[in-house]
Amino acid sequence: MGQEQSVVEGVEAPSSSRVGSTPPRSPIKRAETALNTRIQPHTNRVTKKRSKRSRRDTSERKTIIVDGIPISFRRERLVSLPPLETEPEKTAMSIMKPVVGKLPLTDECLHYDDVSEVPQNLQKYFHQRYSIFKFYDYDIRLTNDAWFGVTPEPLASRLANDLPSHLYSTPRRTTIVDLFGGAGGNTIAFALSEKWEHVISIERDASTLACAQHNAEVYGVSEYITFIHGDCLDFLDRLKHHPETLDPSLREKCDMSKTVLFASPPWGGVDYKEQDVFDLSTMEPYNLEVLHKSCSPMEHALYLPRTSDLRQIAKLAPEGERIEVVQYCMEGASKAMVALIPEATPELT
């Protein structure tokens, strides 16, 4: 048995065996069982499934004697080949639908009653809470992140009244889509203006969207707003290129020739307050080029930092058109600017 043990340790991955005579089977079975336990699982798998494609440089044939029985072994070097590439499975896009009912308020949907409850970095916003939402005390809910992005109510109301709608525009505009709905500041103002047949608000964070629905109820306009839980750029791509993947109710409301888009994106990136002229290409996660390309060719309004580079905005004007830019101020201080970009007329070929 000492000889058998040394033979087993000297063999790495036998692929075949050949017995020269017909002895009792039990010693051979013992030897084969011991040898098979030394075979690496993946080597064994490759040998079985890819024997013809994976063998390379066969060498080192030897004959050994086990209990007087000659057994021939061959050791092979195996080169693992990469798996065969297969076509990615093509799956149909799911249907984007409006939110049915109300999303539940989560632990992130907060209402602060006293400044002592408020995180340090939000306290200045809490002191301005009645400018942000006039009815804040009626249980307005915000996530901590939403405090940074809510448009103050007086500004949101003025902006909603300024945007052209079907009341005095040609062609008629009947739908406004708030692409970055957030906690509902602008969306609620659009609904309160009574200028639109359809107000649609898109928000990808469930807790923030739950706040928006709750706040719209506080202001009594929730039934006039269609909420979508999803990504606004995905919505725009579907609207322009895959309308069949939108719920029929959304396709009906969002006729591209009758829809105005409103985008109040996160400004992110380099702190705009530290720049005399803010470079709109540094906005994160969506810069000016991405926003404009996603919204075109529809008419759209971009809510941007007050120090935005006007030269960058001017380049967005369609051929033969001009862009209107409005600076919005509160209490004598500029808060933001809004660029109104007209619908791009398809070029004649």
Q: Tens of pLDDT along the chain (349 residues)?
A: 444 444 434 444 444 444 444 444 444 455 455 445 444 444 444 334 444 444 444 455 666 665 565 655 555 554 555 555 555 454 568 999 999 999 999 999 999 999 999 999 999 999 999 999 999 999 999 999 999 999 999 999 999 998 877 556 677 889 999 999 999 999 999 999 999 999 999 999 999 999 999 999 999 999 999 999 999 999 999 999 999 999 999 999 999 989 999 999 998 755 666 778 899 998 989 999 999 999 999 999 999 999 999 999 999 988 888 889 999 998 888 889 999 998 886 554 3
* The pLDDT value given to residue 318: 85
Instruction: Please provide the DSSP assignment of 89-131 as one string.
Output: PP-PPPPB-PPPS-PPP-TT-B--SSGGGS-GGGHHHHHTHHH
Q: What's the CATH code of the domain at 312?
A: 3.40.50.150
Tell how far CA 249 is from the center of its chain.
Answer: 23
Q: Residues 192, 56: one domain?
A: no
Q: Residues 42, 190: one domain?
A: no
Last residue of a domain, one of 78, 102, 126: 78
Q: Residues 49, 128: one domain?
A: no
Q: Is residue 308 part of a domain?
A: yes
Burial class (CB in 10 A: 0-12, 13-18, 19+), 176: buried
Q: Residues 119, 73: one domain?
A: no
DSSP class of 221: -
Q: Is residue 262 part of a domain?
A: yes
- Distance (Å, rounded) from C-alpha 93 to C-alpha 235? 12
Last residue of a domain, one of 54, 78, 102: 78
Q: Residues 308, 223: one domain?
A: yes
Q: Residues 136, 233: one domain?
A: yes
* The pLDDT value given to residue 19: 44
Q: Residues 6, 142: one domain?
A: no
* Coil, helix or strand at residue 312: helix
Q: Residues 172, 298: one domain?
A: yes
Q: Residues 156, 215: one domain?
A: yes
* The pLDDT value given to residue 77: 53
Q: Which residue, 217, 233, 139, 137, is CA-closest to 184? A: 217
Question: Structural domain of residue 165, as residue ranges?
Answer: 115-341
Q: Is residue 349 part of a domain?
A: no
Task: List the structure tokens of 91.
Answer: 């799956």
Q: Is residue 185 part of a domain?
A: yes
Q: Residues 140, 69: one domain?
A: no
Q: Residues 30, 159: one domain?
A: no
Q: What are phi and psi of 234, to 5 degrees?
A: -65, -45
Q: Residues 120, 68: one domain?
A: no
Domain count, the chain: 2
Q: Is residue 91 part of a domain?
A: no
The residues with which 61 forms a beta bridge, in sequence order, are: 74
Q: Is residue 101 part of a domain?
A: no
Q: Is residue 107 part of a domain?
A: no
Last residue of a domain, one of 78, 103, 124: 78
Residues in Cβ contact with 232 at an 8 Å cutoff, skipping those fewer than 6 apart: 179, 180, 202, 204, 263, 294
- Distance (Å, rounded) from C-alpha 349 to C-alpha 347? 6
Q: Is residue 265 part of a domain?
A: yes
